[in-house]
Amino acid sequence: MGSTKLRLLLSVLLAFLAVFITPRDALAVVQSLNGQTGQTQTFQNDTNVIINSLNNIHSLGWFGQLPISRGGTGASSFTAGSILFSNGASISQDNSNLFWDDVNNRLAIGTTSRNSTLHVIGDAHVAPTGGGADVILAEWSSNNTNLDMDWAGLNLWNTDTTDNNYASIWFNTKPAPGVPGSDVIWGAAVQAIFTDHVVSNGKTDLAFKVSNPSGFFEAIRIRSDTNVGIGTPNPNAKLDVAGTIRGNSTMFLGSSTSPGCIVMGDSDGSGVTYVTANDGVLSVSTIKPSICQ
């Protein structure tokens, strides 16, 4: 009889203790863990864990790899400048092909070099979201790059409204390709020179520039009035040449209904001489004939 009462008493006691030992709900526990090391704390999945640090002078440190399933990266360390991405199974990095330079604010793709804000080694393909022509920058052959724009034009804009500013296409070379600021060896250029910015009467010349050991200079200009100058930026005739003209074939002046005229400066620089022809007869005069107007 006594044994039965003892067993009953133990059963009641165990049931009572189970209420306090086995957690049924998330409990708020305030407990000091100071000085405890090498301990393992186990919490239920639905338990809220709050860690307070007196005066916020301590921090929570995590040692080891936090798996992706727990919100981590699954990696213990990364290379400086790496941009993390998912490979479908884990978080990965490819520092040699995708690199961010946080010091200089530069992004490198296909290289770890960072010579510009965006530095790309490889082909580039840009397409508008609304459809239209694609722009492709790709290697054409060894040491040659091709810029391809599908059925599109190339627009170069200069928003400066000061007269005689320009938009240019330059053809240069330099010892260190792709490195801004390296010594440039000037080659040639085509420039649209906006000589007059009045909207209703804008005027634009087209200039061709070349270089030699003496410098970089303008060789040919097509003015907005369609005059062409060779060696002069201010042609006063349809073809104005500052220098010697040489030919090895026929030169035609005039037509069957409009005779030609040759104007030559006098050797002493005091005037000009006009030469005309009519039915095989040459006429020379210092007075300007009507056909030389």
Cβ(266)–Cβ(236) below 8 Å: no
Residue 156: closest CA among 126, 129, 192:
192
Residue 232, pLDDT score: 94
pLDDT tens sequence across 188-211 = 999 998 888 776 778 899 999 999
Q: Would you give the DSSP letter of residue 265?
A: E
Each domain of the chain, given as residue ranges in start order, spans: 157-246, 251-293
Distance between CA 65 and CA 73 in Å, rounded? 8
Task: Report pLDDT for 120.
Answer: 83
Q: Decide: 199 and 219 in contact? Cβ < 8 Å.
A: no
Average pLDDT of the chain to the nearest whole number? 76
| Chain-centroid distance, C-alpha 81 | 20
Contact 85, 73 (CB under 8 A): no
Cα angle, residue 227 at apex, residues 200 and 162 outer, rounded to 5° = 40
Confidence of residue 221 (pLDDT cuts 50, 70, 90): very high
Q: Is the pTM of this model over 0.85?
A: no
pLDDT in tens, 248-271: 888 888 777 777 888 888 888 788
Are 215 and 221 within 8 A, CB to CB?
no
What's the rounded mean pLDDT across residues 133-148? 71
Side chain identity, residue 142: S
What are the distances in angstroms from CA 185 to CA 116, 172, 215? Answer: 20, 6, 10
Q: Determine the 3-state secondary structure of 276 from DSSP.
A: strand
Identify the band that residue 28 occupies on the pLDDT scale cut at 50, 70 and 90: very low
The rounded radius of gyration (Å) of the Cα atoms in the chain is: 42
Dihedral Cα 81, 87, 90, 96, nearest 10 deg? -30
Residue 131 has, within 13 A of its CA and on its CB side, a CA count of 0
- Element of type H or E holding 262: strand 261-265
pLDDT tens figures, 34-65: 666 666 666 665 556 666 666 666 566 656 66
pLDDT tens-place string over residues 2-13? 566 666 666 766
